[in-house]
Amino acid sequence: MPSQERMNQVVHKVLLVGVVVSMALIGIGLFLTATTPDAGQEWIGLGSLWEALMAFEPVALVELGLLVLIATPLLRILTALVIFTTERDYRFILIALFVLGMVSLAVVIDI
Amino acid sequence: MTALGILVVALVAGVLGALLGLGGGIIVIPGLTLALGFGMQEAIGASLMGVIASSTGAAVRYVKQGYVNVRLGMLLETATTTGAIIGALVAVYLDQDLLAILFSIVLVYGAYHMLTRREKVYRPEELEAESQLLDLSCTYVDQKNGEEVCYGVKRYRTGLLASLGAGGLSGLLGVGGGVIKVPVMNACMCVPMKAATATSNFMIGVTALAGAIIYVRYGYLDPILAGLTAMGVLGGAVVGSRLTNVADGGSIRIMFGVLLLAVAALMVLKGLGILEVV
């Protein structure tokens, strides 16, 4: 089935790039945290992450790596969604949108 | 040197996880809480990051080899993500000691699974697809003998229900939930073992992600702890997957099953406050 093969190839690339980039960021960040005297070790809120990155705070690099790691499976759903759309596979478009909806719910839900 | 301790725990979890087909959470959590004295919620948050790293790493390989059924995975993910959000929201409000006791139940189930696991092998005529609403049939080539295996998926409603439970477990206790999904996919849904293991691994990234976001938002993710865990587990998994051909699966499984029972007993003692940890 050619559609299955195309899906596998694209998804493979997305996952591979995500893992390599996130591990590189986390690795460099951890190394710098260990070698920089009094480097911060607390979680930086996402609002101030960009500033912390610009200020070369090592822990911000670790956090960015963790965010890339979290984003990798997410990007994989988006990729599948695009492929389902080009194939006009409506049932699976709905399924992919539902999974994305649940992830978005995790971001906003408050109890 | 706490950092070194975390790295050792994560590496061991990654190696054993790859050898035994687990995500590693079942080892990371007792390691971090019993041996290093972290709180349950912190350990679960870090374990989820480790689980995302190792399952994504494994999925890279499985997708390339064609063992993953992407459509089946996405369908079951609708249930695992729902379960993960519910589980994580419950966990952030639960008492640490109660979480430790709940975790010990998972360990006992994991031990049972290790000691008794049976693989259901299907004949080709049993694998034919039933006509149904969704076409989930899939094909892969078995790398061992070069045979092409084509299978249709059955009873996906049972699969969705089991996935809801696996997702809940993942969000609540920081494990991948493969111990539930793999046997159900293999025994109930007629998915061959290789495809079931690969598809389960593929799904864990998205499942753990839904739970991990809740832990981030409630402030239970320590970046250094999570970073060390993610790197250690993935590094260990890379080494472990190279050892699978060298090590004897059967005897490792039995030793590990017994080890899990012992750890379960320690977690209960900790939960009841009888055992003081560092």
In this predicted structure, the answer to whether residue A47 has a pLDDT above a threshold of 80 is no
Average of per-residue pLDDT across A59-85: 91
User: DSSP secondary structure string, B132-159?
Assistant: -SS---EEEE-TTT--EEEE----HHHH
Cβ A23–B53 below 8 Å, yes or no? yes
Instruction: Check residue B69 and give its pLDDT.
Output: 92
Residues of A in contact with B3 (CB under 8 A): 34
Closest listed residue to residue B200, CA positions, set B25, B102, B80: B80
Of the listed ranges A10-14, A73-77, B244-248, the one predicted with least confidence: B244-248
Taking one residue from A and the other from B, the number of pairs with CB-CB distance under 8 angstroms is 138
Task: Please state, as a whole number, how many other Cβ atoms lie within 10 Å of the Cβ of residue B105.
Answer: 14
User: DSSP secondary structure string, B64-97?
Assistant: HHT---HHHHHHHHHHHHHHHHHHHHHHHHS-HH
Average pLDDT, 10 consecutive residues per value, chain B (278 residues): 88 84 82 89 91 88 87 94 93 86 87 78 72 78 82 88 91 85 86 87 89 86 93 89 66 78 85 69
Chain A touched by B68 (CB under 8 Å): yes
User: What number is the ipTM of this complex?
Assistant: 0.87
Chain A touched by B86 (CB under 8 Å): no
Instruction: Check residue A54 and give its pLDDT.
Output: 82
Instruction: Check residue B178 and give its pLDDT.
Output: 82
Residues of A in contact with B224 (CB under 8 A): 30, 33, 41, 59, 62
Cβ A62–B210 below 8 Å, yes or no? no
Instruction: Check residue B277 and give its pLDDT.
Output: 56
Better pLDDT: B209 or A54: B209
Which secondary-structure segment (H or E) carries B227?
A: helix B223-243
Better pLDDT: A2 or A103: A103
Cβ B71–A92 below 8 Å, yes or no? yes
Better pLDDT: B138 or A1: B138
Chain A touched by B142 (CB under 8 Å): no
Best probe of the B interface among A82, A102, A107, A110, by most B CBs < 10 A, is A102
| Least CB–CB distance from B138: residue in A4, A12, A26 | A4
| Least CB–CB distance from B85: residue in A7, A8, A109 | A109
Instruction: Check residue A64 and give its pLDDT.
Output: 92
Task: Please state, as a whole number, how many other Cβ atoms lie within 10 Å of the Cβ of residue B175.
Answer: 30
Closest listed residue to residue B260, CA positions, set B195, B187, B198, B175: B175
| Least CB–CB distance from B57: residue in A7, A19, A30 | A19
Dist. CA B169–CA B174, nearest whole Å: 7
Instruction: Check residue B146 and give its pLDDT.
Output: 81
How far apart are the CA of A58 and the nearest CA of chain B, in angstroms?
10
**Cross-strand pairs, B139:** B150
Chain B touched by A72 (CB under 8 Å): yes
Say what percent of chain A tops pLDDT 90: 47
Residues of A in contact with B63 (CB under 8 A): 8, 11-12, 15
Residues of A in contact with B209 (CB under 8 A): 70, 73-74, 103, 106
Instruction: Check residue B278 and give its pLDDT.
Output: 47
Closest listed residue to residue A92, CA positions, set A76, A108, A80, A105: A80
**Cβ contacts of A42 within 8 Å, gap of 6 or more:** A59, B223
Instruction: Check residue B197 and give its pLDDT.
Output: 85
Chain A touched by B2 (CB under 8 Å): no
Average of per-residue pLDDT across A51-63: 86
pLDDT range class, residue A1, cuts 50, 70, 90: very low
